[in-house]
Structure 1
Amino acid sequence: MARRSGSQTREAIREAATRLFTERGYADTSVRDIAARAATDPALVIRHFGSKELLFLDTMHLSIDDEPLLDVPLERLGARFVEVLLDSDARTRAIYLAMVQGSGHPQIAARLRETHETSFVQPLRVRMGGDDAEDRARSAAALVGGLLYSLWVVGDQRLAADRDGLVERYGALLQRLLTP
């Protein structure tokens, strides 16, 4: 077998970690598992990334595709935002779940807070007016977080069963915060 360069080894570790973290979550993925999947030594995983937590932070980036939200008038953003969340792909859900599961680790919790700010709070605040825009944006982000928790962490199938009804009801709740 040909010997890999350091950058090739690093990329193989990154690919293996991404796959395992999204399949199993943070807690159920070991450095040994990552090394085995990358066909390398566990010591090289630590050498290249410093720790499992730092490797997790290097590979797990959560973002919501906001393209479908850019041209939606603020008066219709609530329902459309819920639709975009419901249409999120399996990778986005897996990364979100891995981040929630790993949130007991300070750096992962910090990444989750950063994602909350950049993916939810800031984009909403920018589109809203009024003296209380900051508070309403944070409340709206919390409402969205509750929906993600119910659907993706708890797996509430009954809530998800009526997609159109969920978009209508939850979108209306979100809309009340966006445009009171």
Structure 2
Amino acid sequence: MAEALRLFADRGYAATSVAEIEAASGLSPGAGGLYRHFRSKEEVLAAAIREHITSTKSQLDVIREQATQFADLPLVERLKMTCHAGLAKMREEQDLVRVLFRDLDQFPELVAEMREGIVNPLYEAIAEWLSTQPELADNDEDWPAIASILGGSVVNYWLANESMHEPPSRIAEERFVLAWARLAMGLC
């Protein structure tokens, strides 16, 4: 699945043959090995997306469990860690994002699975995390909307860097992370 997703990201879904997926996966190209595991190329893509959904759920569970370990750090440091985690998640999902932008309009049901299984849970986790920070607990904020803004800026920074081959305005990642955390500190 990982090799198929990489090929779909690099070449496009339609331009990637089953034989190429088989070769990249260590199977004999054209021998039908892929069909022993999947009925179609689309099923491979769907399985890859579902694997990323499962991984995201597990990651969110771990992050929720570990959140208390960092409760003693200043809020700005916790925010920076959150921003770094968001950028790391974007890097991890790089191939999936590229396939999404290139080809997934052909598969609206898979887009819906990604939205409900990866995107929305990530934004909901940001909102939940923000709402539970002691420094922000007294604020009566629209945490889902704030999470959308903060999460969206991380996505935008990563997408711009990825598509233009340098960060927006050449702002280095550490500089972006610090500015992001300082803006979020304005919620206090």
Q: TM-score range by the shorter chain?
A: 0.5 to 0.7
Matched residue count: 164
Contact 1:53 1:108 in 2 (8 A): no
In structure 1, the partner of 2:84 is 83
Q: Which runs of 5+ in 1 are unaligned?
A: 1-13
Partners of 1:136 and 1:127 lie apart in 2 by 11
In structure 2, the partner of 1:144 is 154
Matched, 1:59 2:48: yes
Taking the TM superposition and a 5 Å limit, the aligned residue runs for 1:17-32 are 17-21=4-8, 24=11, 26-32=13-19
CA 1:143–1:44 in structure 2 vs 1: closer, same or farther (change >3 Å)? Answer: same
- How far the C-alpha of 1:45 sits from its partner, in A, is 3.5
Alignment deviations for residues 23-67 of structure 1 (CA, whole Å, 9 cap, x no partner): 545454222321344215475645742332221121241649566
- Cα RMSD of the aligned pairs, angstroms, is 3.6
- How far the C-alpha of 1:121 sits from its partner, in A, is 0.9
- How far the C-alpha of 1:132 sits from its partner, in A, is 1.4
In structure 2, the partner of 1:97 is 98
Alignment deviations for residues 89-132 of structure 1 (CA, whole Å, 9 cap, x no partner): 965433332333333231332233131112x2121121233351
Partners of 1:111 and 1:154 lie apart in 2 by 28
CA 1:72–1:166 in structure 2 vs 1: closer, same or farther (change >3 Å)? Answer: same
Deviates more, 1:151-160 or 1:59-68: 59-68
- How far the C-alpha of 1:174 sits from its partner, in A, is 4.5
Q: Which runs of 5+ in 2 are unaligned?
A: 132-139
CA 1:154–1:43 in structure 2 vs 1: closer, same or farther (change >3 Å)? Answer: same
The structure 2 residue matched to 1:117, chosen from 92, 115, 120, is: 120
Contact 1:80 1:171 in 2 (8 A): no
TM-score (norm 2): 0.63
Contact 1:159 1:166 in 2 (8 A): no
TM-score (norm 1): 0.65
Contact 1:79 1:171 in 2 (8 A): yes
Q: Percent same amino acid among aligned pairs? A: 18
- How far the C-alpha of 1:16 sits from its partner, in A, is 4.3
In structure 2, the partner of 1:134 is 144
Provide the secondary structure at the position in 2 that maps to 1:49.
Answer: coil
Contact 1:57 1:111 in 2 (8 A): no
In structure 2, the partner of 1:106 is 108
CA 1:90–1:164 in structure 2 vs 1: closer, same or farther (change >3 Å)? Answer: closer
